[in-house]
Amino acid sequence: MAEDESKQYDPIKHKHIFVMANVMFVVASLIACMFEAILIQRIWIKPRMPVDGLTAFTLQFVGWVPALMILSLRLMVGKQLKKGGISPSFAFGISLNLGILLMMVYLAFMQLLEFAPR
């Protein structure tokens, strides 16, 4: 009779699975913080074009939406892994791709800031 493999998950043994994905998320978080700092500087500190308060707050909120969505997806992957719904290698692949996506989104945002009027 086949055993249920989901109960054999050992969080200590599989903790190393997310090492590279964690590195990607740390790098992407640093890039997101740089984006936020540049956005604050261009909107609030040295604006060359007048921007009302609502537009400025909306721009800052929209800047954090991709990070919040991708981090919530990563938390859902971690929960599914703990429940045994997905394998550790599949969870690693998803988390690594989410980290790369997060990094690419904020690098694209940084490029868009270069084209935005100051």
Per-residue model confidence as pLDDT tens digits over 67-94 = 999 999 999 998 988 888 888 888 888 9
CA–CA dist 22, 9 (Å, integer): 20
Taking every pair of C-alpha atoms in the chain, what is the biggest distance, in angstroms?
Answer: 72
CA–CA dist 100, 58 (Å, integer): 25
Of 102 and 10, more confident: 102
Q: pLDDT digit string (tens) for 16-72?
A: 667 788 888 899 889 999 998 888 888 888 776 777 888 888 888 888 899 999 999
> 116 in helix, strand or coil?
coil
Q: What's the pTM value of the predicted model, to 2 decimals?
A: 0.74
Q: pLDDT digit string (tens) for 5-15?
A: 555 655 555 55
Name the H helices within 7-115.
Answer: 19-40, 53-83, 88-115
